[in-house]
Amino acid sequence: MPEPTSVGATPRIWEVGALCRAIADALEARFNPVAVRGEITGFSRASSGHCYFSVKDANGQLRCAMFRRSASLLDFSPRDGELVELRGRIGVYEARGDLQFIVESMQRAGQGALFEQFLRLKAQLEGEGLFDAARKRPLPLQPRGIGLVTSPGAAALHDVVTALRRRVPHIPVLLVPAQVQGVAAPQALVSALSKLYLLAQAGKAPEADLAQNPAIDVILLVRGGGSMEDLWAFNDEQLARTIVQSPVPLICGVGHETDFTIADFCADLRAPTPTAAAELVAQPREVWLGALGLLAGRLADGVQRQLDARHQRLDQAAARLGRPSGIVARQQLQLARLAQRMRHGSLLKMQQLVQTQKALEDEMPLKLQRQLALHAEGLDRAALRLELLDPRLVLQRGYALLTDTAGQAVTSVRQAQPGDALRATLADGAVDVTVVQPRLL
């Protein structure tokens, strides 16, 4: 190491890199190896496996780097707020001129002050039942409106709004801005949530004017990542009690996936990140449109099946009913059969009566024979009249049975109008006719 210059002498002009190396050499000779005790803050693990964080106490803070080889030997997962003992080498990161501690080993040395405070409040609220799963509510499948509490200048707001616009652009989002870091942040968050609670309760009223104030069915409380100190506002007892009073389900998305706060335990649902909170609160519009299309297809298929069944029943009924002319023809045929049976029966009866008469003529007096003759004559006349009533005989004389399209008999010109379609049934078939001009006799 170069000798120091004497008082009043012109100081040596160093190259920046050379000065950094000189300081690093001085620290190496003076301190290393070194052990240090402090509370972890800002812990992060890079994709390379290296870990970066700081250790602090009430009077100072020191940047630390723990490379992958040393980090792989850890038997626990370091977290912000933990009190640890570190062993390693202190030096200078020459690329930035930063003082840093290269950690070669780490072990727990107890809990940090903030972490101990966090654990005490967590145990107290858990004992009061604020974390009970039974009081947590399911999220609405399709909220009418979403309430959002976060800082208007935070990246979390951009992430949430971007996700909601992509997934559910039709759902209104009401932002109530609040400070999310610092001493005044807990009270600001409580005030913002209280405003949303009033709007949510007003939206549930039957007389609510949703055109002026959209209904709030779910609330998002979000903030981006940071150290334990950065997120400490979300470990506030008053905020925790305010969260459990929410009239609608509340999702807390604070920090990164490994960050936990009291607000997470009190909320109806914890999201690992603000973006995840936005994705949990609303299914993509395409999912609902797809489900709606599927239901519409099923409905159309069901209606078509019902129509097909009704058409089939109609065809079967039509086949059983047949044309009205067919009914008339069948009735005429049945009438002819009955008339023939009647004639046959009459002839048989007459033959029996004749035979009986002949048998009795030899035994009965003349007066009785005359009475039998009169009865026989009457019977002949009745048989003749019955035969004359046969419809086929009427049709054979040039008459026709006139019916309308419904098969009803037309017996008066008043039942026919010009242009009406009628059917004339003759002795050997039927003729379809059209009325030209009815005429009264």
DSSP-assigned states of every residue in 298-321: HHHHHHHHHHHHHHHHHHHHHHHH
Longest dimension (CA), the chain: 188
Residue 262 and residue 180 in one domain: yes
Of 226, 217, 220, 228, the C-alpha closest to 262 is: 228
Cα–Cα distance measured from residue 182 to residue 154, given in angstroms and rounded to the nearest whole number: 14
Alpha-carbon distance values, 187 to 114, 152, 190, 242 (Å): 19, 16, 5, 10
Give domain status of residue 137, yes or no: no
Question: CATH number, domain at 224?
Answer: 3.40.50.2300
DSSP code per residue over 369-396: HHHHHHHHHHHHHHHHHHHHT-HHHHHH
Per the domain annotation, does 124 fall within a domain?
Answer: no
Instruction: Give mean pLDDT, residues 182-197.
Output: 94
Q: Which residues pair with 67 in a beta bridge?
A: none
Between the two ends of the chain, the Cα-to-Cα distance in Å is 147
3-state secondary structure of 149: strand
As a whole number of angstroms, the distance between CA 295 and CA 289 comes to 10
- Cβ within 8 Å of residue 348, ≥6 positions away: none
Instruction: Quickly count helices (H) and strands (E) in the chain.
Output: 12, 13
Asked if residue 170 and residue 273 are part of one domain, the reply reads: yes
Q: Is residue 129 part of a domain?
A: no
pLDDT digits (tens, 9 = 90+) for 19-43: 877 887 777 767 778 889 999 999 9
What is this structure's pTM? 0.49
In the 8-state DSSP scheme, what is residue 174? Answer: E
Pairing of strands 269-270, 250-254: parallel
Q: Which helix or strand (DSSP H or E) is residue 68 part of? A: helix 68-71
Same domain for 368 and 432, yes or no, is no
- 156 and 250 in a common domain: yes
- The residue ranking higher by pLDDT, 8 or 193, is 193
- Give pLDDT, residue 159: 92
- Do 346 and 418 fall into the same domain? no
Give the span between the Cα atoms of 25 and 5, in whole angstroms: 18
Same domain for 188 and 278, yes or no, is yes
Residue that is last in its domain, among 62, 96, 111: 111
Residues 107 and 215 placed together within one structural domain of the fold: no
pLDDT at residue 207 tops 80: no
- Residue 297 belongs to some domain of the structure: no
pLDDT for res 1: 44
The CATH number for 21's domain is 2.40.50.140
Residues 179 and 67 in one domain: no
Mean pLDDT throughout 240-252? Answer: 95
210 pLDDT above the threshold of 60: no
For residues 308 and 315, give the distance between their C-alpha atoms in angstroms, rounded to a whole number.
10
Q: What is the pLDDT of residues 275-326, one digit of tens each?
A: 999 999 877 666 666 777 788 888 888 888 888 888 788 877 777 665 666 6
Range of the domain at 419: 400-441
Query: Residue 47: inside a domain, yes or no?
Result: yes
Radius of gyration of the chain (CA): 53
431 contacts: CB under 8 Å, gap ≥ 6 = 400, 423, 424
Query: Structurally, how many domains does the chain consist of?
Result: 4
In a domain, 296, yes or no: no
DSSP state of 49: S
pLDDT band at residue 241 using 50, 70 and 90 as cut-offs: very high
Residue 242 CB coordination number (10 Å): 21
Whether residues 430 and 411 fall in one domain: yes
Are residues 183 and 275 part of one domain? yes
Same domain, 37 and 150: no
Distance CA 90, CA 103 (A): 9
Q: Residue holding tokens 């026919």?
A: 416
Question: What is the Cα–Cα distance from 403 to 392, expressed in whole angstroms?
Answer: 16
Residue 161 forms part of a structural domain:
yes
Q: Quick one: average pLDDT of 243-247?
A: 95
Q: Is residue 337 classed as helix, strand or coil in its secondary structure?
A: helix
189: Cβ contacts below 8 Å, ≥ 6 apart: 149, 178, 179, 180, 221, 233, 234, 236, 239, 242
Q: Please state whether the peptide bond connecting residue 206 to the residue before it is cis, i.e. omega within 30 degrees of 0.
A: no
**Using CA atoms, how far apart are residues 340 and 334, in angstroms rounded to an integer?**
10
> Which one-letter DSSP state was computed for residue 319?
H
Closest CA to 236 of 133, 122, 150: 122
Q: Are residues 147 and 103 in the same domain?
A: no
Answer for the pair 418, 438: CB distance below 8 angstroms, yes or no. Answer: yes
71 part of a folded domain? yes
Question: Residue 91 and residue 200: Cα distance in Å, rounded?
Answer: 56
Cα–Cα nearest to 95, from 13, 15, 14, 17: 17
Q: Is the pLDDT of residue 212 over 70?
A: no
Place of tokens 């693990």: 45
